[in-house]
């Protein structure tokens, strides 16, 4: 059976060029970058070259990049370590109700430790209002953490406006850019970002490697203690092949970004137009235009997202009901509830995310099959009466 992958927001296959760049660092260039002999120094050079590339892509300087294990570690470090470091200054954190669990769980953890957290609501399209950020900042606020684009509904937040406010108020600004780096432009200076999370497997790099950007002068204690790797900011032997692969993936994305975003947004807009035309009572989730080029999210009344997913999977089409990390949970998505969807619609959502290898005919195939799948499931639903 031909299989079609439309779940790029969960993870993307690595680019073959990425794998090629990594290979030598498993074999002849296997040294530990902390060793002072030839093998170590060869690996260290690769790490430092990768740091330069990563910094350049973000508009940062190389010593502001801390390599780590990916988005979850970057988010945890940014939220928990900033809070603990600045606890003497204040105990208030602002975030949004639609953040990834890698931010929300640390926020809940901090609440148990005595911190106060404001979870900002969003409008029906998933947008945070910068004025709400402004109104929530008090003299006790130490951190604002707002994601760049949402992983479920694709809405892109006004981070430049929020960054202007946090800078004005002297509050640290963390941005979870796991879904945007490599896909749309991200510049830490334009948005006055102090801390930024990224993860290689979302932009055709290897899994288990990422980075936290930490603006020079930003106070954070290290999260992992041990050796003095990453200038003491993150202990543990470097994942040289992973870091080299991530930098290669970023280089490839920098070249291809504009063209890929144009193509994917054409496919996205086709789905946004044609799905409601062929399926009654379908609802687009997320902002109609301020959204990731590769993201489409619909709710279909009367049926469960999981059933749609399983039926599509039987036809060879892989999509998602929302975040891959929560897809095993029976709870409706916190993101869909936050944009005001009733429980029954929040359960009936389908996320389609495209990527480098998505073809027009993959979208044709989805559009051919989805209406019949929804129709079949509705015919079995006791809630549905055909009009
Ligand atoms: N933040 C967002 C917005 C994500 O989409 C994800 C992964 O889906 C993460 C954080 C976690 O990243 P990682 O899988 O690299 O730990």
Question: With 50 as the cut, is the pLDDT of residue 349 above it?
Answer: yes
Q: Is 260 a pocket residue for ligand 1 (Cβ < 6 Å)? A: no
Check if 325 has its Cβ closer than 6 Å to any atom of ligand 1: yes
The predicted model gives 241-253 an average pLDDT of 98
Q: Ligand 1: distance of its center to the CA of 65 in Å?
A: 18
The catalytic residue positions are: 325
Is it the case that residue 385 has pLDDT exceeding 90?
no
Answer yes or no: is the C-beta of 179 below 6 A from any ligand 1 atom: yes
Residue 347 has a pLDDT of 85
Q: Which of 43-52, 269-278, 303-312, 314-323 has the lowest mean pLDDT?
A: 314-323
pLDDT digits (tens, 9 = 90+) for 140-152: 999 999 999 999 9
- Residues of each domain in the chain carrying CATH 3.90.1150.10: 4-11+257-385
Residues of the chain with CATH 3.40.640.10: 16-252
d(CA 79, ligand 1 centre) in Å: 14
Domain 4-11+257-385 in CATH 3.90.1150.10:
yes
Residue 298 has pLDDT above 50, yes or no: yes
CA 323 / ligand 1 centre spacing (Å): 9
Mean pLDDT, range 252-261, rounded to an integer: 98
Overall average pLDDT of the 167-182 stretch: 98
pLDDT value of residue 329:
59
Mean pLDDT of 282-306: 96
The residue-averaged pLDDT of 41-57 equals 98
Predicted confidence at residue 330, as pLDDT, reads 66
Is the minimum distance from the CB of 68 to ligand 1 under 6 angstroms? no
Which pLDDT band, with edges at 50, 70 and 90, does 344 fall under?
confident
Structure confidence at residue 271 (pLDDT): 98
Task: Establish whether residue 100 lines the binding site of ligand 1, counting it when its CB lies within 6 angstroms of any ligand atom.
Answer: yes
pTM score, two decimals?
0.97
Specify the pLDDT at position 328: 53
Is the pLDDT reported for residue 324 higher than 90?
Answer: no
Q: pLDDT value at position 323?
A: 44
Region 282-300: what's the mean pLDDT?
97
Range with the lowest mean pLDDT among 4-18, 67-81, 161-175, 313-327?
313-327
In three-state form (DSSP H/G/I as H, E/B as E, the rest C), the secondary structure along the chain is CCCEECECCCCCCCCHHHHHHHHHHCCCCCCCCCCCCHHHHHHHHHHHHHHHHHHHHHCCCHHHEEEECCHHHHHHHHHHHHHHHCCCCCCEEEEECCCCHHHHHHHHHHHHCCCEEEEECCCCCCCCCHHHHHHHCCCCEEEEECCCECCCCCEECCHHHHHHHHHHHCCEEEEECCCCCCCCCCCCCCCCCCEEEEEHHHHCCCCCCEEEEECCCCCCCCCCCCCCHHHHCCCCCCCHHHHHHHHHHHHHHHHHHHHHHHHHHHHHHHHHHHHHHHCCCEEECCCCCCECCCEEEEEECCCCHHHHHHHHHHCCEECECCCHHHCCCCCCCHHHHHCCCCHHHHHCEEEEECCCCCCHHHHHHHHHHHHHHHHHHHHHCCCCCCC
One of 3.90.1150.10, 3.40.50.12160, 3.40.640.10, 3.40.50.880 is the CATH number of 16-252, namely: 3.40.640.10
Substitution candidate for ligand 1 out of 175, 199, 223 with most atoms within 8 A of CB: 199
Q: What is the mean pLDDT of residues 170-190?
A: 98
Q: Give the tens place of pLDDT for each residue, 113-138.
A: 999 999 999 999 999 999 999 999 99
Residue 345 has a pLDDT of: 87
């Amino acid at each position: 059976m031909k299989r079609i992958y439309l779940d790029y927001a969960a993870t993307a296959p690595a680019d073959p060029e990425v794998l090629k760049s990594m290979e030598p660092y498993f074999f002849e260039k296997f040294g530990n970058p902390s060793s002072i002999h030839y093998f170590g120094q060869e690996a260290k050079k690769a790490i430092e070259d990768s740091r330069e590339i990563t910094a350049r892509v973000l508009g940062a300087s190389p010593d502001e990049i801390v390599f780590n294990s990916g988005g979850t570690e970057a988010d945890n470090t940014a939220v928990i370590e900033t809070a603990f470091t600045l606890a003497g200054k204040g105990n208030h954190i602002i975030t949004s109700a639609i953040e990834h669990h890698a931010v929300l769980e640390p926020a809940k953890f901090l609440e148990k430790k005595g911190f106060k957290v404001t979870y900002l609501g969003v409008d029906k399209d998933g947008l945070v209002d910068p004025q709400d950020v402004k109104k929530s900042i008090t003299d006790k606020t130490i951190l604002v953490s707002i994601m760049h684009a949402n992983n479920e509904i694709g809405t892109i937040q006004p981070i430049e406006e929020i960054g202007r406010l946090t800078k004005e108020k002297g509050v640290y600004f963390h941005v979870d850019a796991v879904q945007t780096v490599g896909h749309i432009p991200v510049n830490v200076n334009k948005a006055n970002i102090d801390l930024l999370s990224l993860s290689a497997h979302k932009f055709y790099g290897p899994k288990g490697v990422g980075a936290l950007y930490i603006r020079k002068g930003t106070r954070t204690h290290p999260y992992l203690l041990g050796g003095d790797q990453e200038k003491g900011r993150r202990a543990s032997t470097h994942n040289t092949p992973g870091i080299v692969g991530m930098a290669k993936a970023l280089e490839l994305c920098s070249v291809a970004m504009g063209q890929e975003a144009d193509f994917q947004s054409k496919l996205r807009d086709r789905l946004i137009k044609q799905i409601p035309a062929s399926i009654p009572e379908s609802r687009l989730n997320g902002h109609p235009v301020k959204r990731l080029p590769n993201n489409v999210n619909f709710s279909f009344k009367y049926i469960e997202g999981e059933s749609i997913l399983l039926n599509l999977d039987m036809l060879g089409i892989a999509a998602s009901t929302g975040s891959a990390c929560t897809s095993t949970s029976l709870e409706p998505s916190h993101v869909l509830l936050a944009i005001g969807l009733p429980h029954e619609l929040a359960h009936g959502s389908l996320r389609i995310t495209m990527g480098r290898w998505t073809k027009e005919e993959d979208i044709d195939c989805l559009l051919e099959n989805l209406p019949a799948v929804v129709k079949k499931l509705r015919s079995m639903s006791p809630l549905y009466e055909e009009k």
